[in-house]
Structure 1
């Protein structure tokens, strides 16, 4: 570790610096758009307690490459671009399109800037497996969107009704649990000497 970043050196002249990032968002502090704010206001106190401040676990964390010459980094861009709205399912669709050479996505420019990072994994399937993201991909290799309406980025990524907010949060919480268990399974299989705590 150096300066609070993880560094991976592939060769003396090729190194990657990474920053950590939460891959789900409760939109607790988002003061816009107006429809999102109104949707949150309609939640019951019980729902607010469940959705607004979930525990931060390894299953909800990710690393992305960062470098001064390419701004914004992916962790910043996915949070600032409204078509993505800090959602991992929509981010992963952008990454899938990059590997498949499919039409441009809202993150195409940023992903292209870090193409050397994505080249490390050779294929989308290997990227997904390495980061334990299998529960966001269907058996057909498509993305399992939190909201079905989000395919093809036809609308902003933020939920705009109470129902949409609940669906996004429930899907993201389920994904975090599944991913955390998947990561725990991998550690137990490959490093049995490590004691794993499951949440």
Structure 2
């Protein structure tokens, strides 16, 4: 399937699922998603050095590569918002009552190092399977914040394995600024959690209808806000 024609260098409304075969993961199959990541994240790092990325891989295995004095990094895309439609609580809600599916747009995607270290899990794999994270990006971001502060967190081992990647951004503020993640940060400078949080002791997936619907509202608000932030930040990118 061919990418749909777009009028903007970064079209925040484009749903990457529309250009991949049914049932395939856009993170590894969408050429537009890979191109968007390259356009967005090929830019100066906080210390002024440029983080140039090249598009590599074949359909089903798309990735981005950086190779310079900074190091060699193989980055893969992953979704950072999840609807948890297969959970028991979601199945309690009539389809007509569920929030609108905004689609898999660029605001819902981020890149992480995709090469295994010593045969162990990548960040994407670890955050998806850890019982205290369950793919929640707000919780992942709290782990990253604690990593920069050298504080304990559920993803400490895997984040430490990829410390050379996080060192590129100097500190947590640099990481947030680089990847335009401000819309997960509250006015107080702390993580604006999408569901009740108590130091990783609360269930990561909402287990009652009201909490689930509130979680969905929060993630939808995040997607809309980050889409706008990305569009505002990239008006001059050449297509």
Aligned residues: 180
- The ranges of structure 1 where at least 4 consecutive aligned residues each deviate by more than 4 angstroms after the TM superposition are none
Deviations 1:10-68 (A, max 9, x none): 32x82000110010111124xxxxxx41x1122122133x35x5411001011001213
Q: Which residue of 32, 39, 43 maps to 2:93? A: 43
Task: Report the alpha carbon displacement of residue 192 of structure 1 after superposing the two structures with TM.
Answer: 6.5
Q: What residue number does 1:33 align with? A: none
Deviations 1:64-103 (A, max 9, x none): 012132531111111111211111110100000011122x
Rounded Cα–Cα distance in structure 2 between residues aligned with 1:138 and 1:173:
16
Secondary structure of the residue aligned to 1:101 is coil
Q: What residue number does 1:2 align with? A: 56
Are the aligned partners of 1:65 and 1:114 in contact in 2 as well (CA < 8 Å)? yes
Write out aligned runs for 1:34-183 (5 A). 36-37=87-88, 39-48=89-98, 50=99, 53-70=101-118, 71-102=120-151, 104-147=152-195, 149-183=196-230
Give the alignment's TM-score, normalised by structure 1: 0.84
Deviations 1:79-135 (A, max 9, x none): 111211111110100000011122x11111111010100000001001001111101
Pair 192,24 (structure 1): closer, same or farther in 2 beyond 3 Å: closer
Q: CA RMSD, aligned part only?
A: 1.7
Deviations 1:135-193 (A, max 9, x none): 1112332101112x3131012211111111111111011101100100000012xx166
Give the alignment's TM-score, normalised by structure 2: 0.71
Rounded Cα–Cα distance in structure 2 between residues aligned with 1:192 and 1:2:
20
Gaps of 5+ in 2: 1-54
Are the aligned partners of 1:85 and 1:156 in contact in 2 as well (CA < 8 Å)? no
Query: Which is richer in helix?
Result: 1
Pair 193,69 (structure 1): closer, same or farther in 2 beyond 3 Å: closer
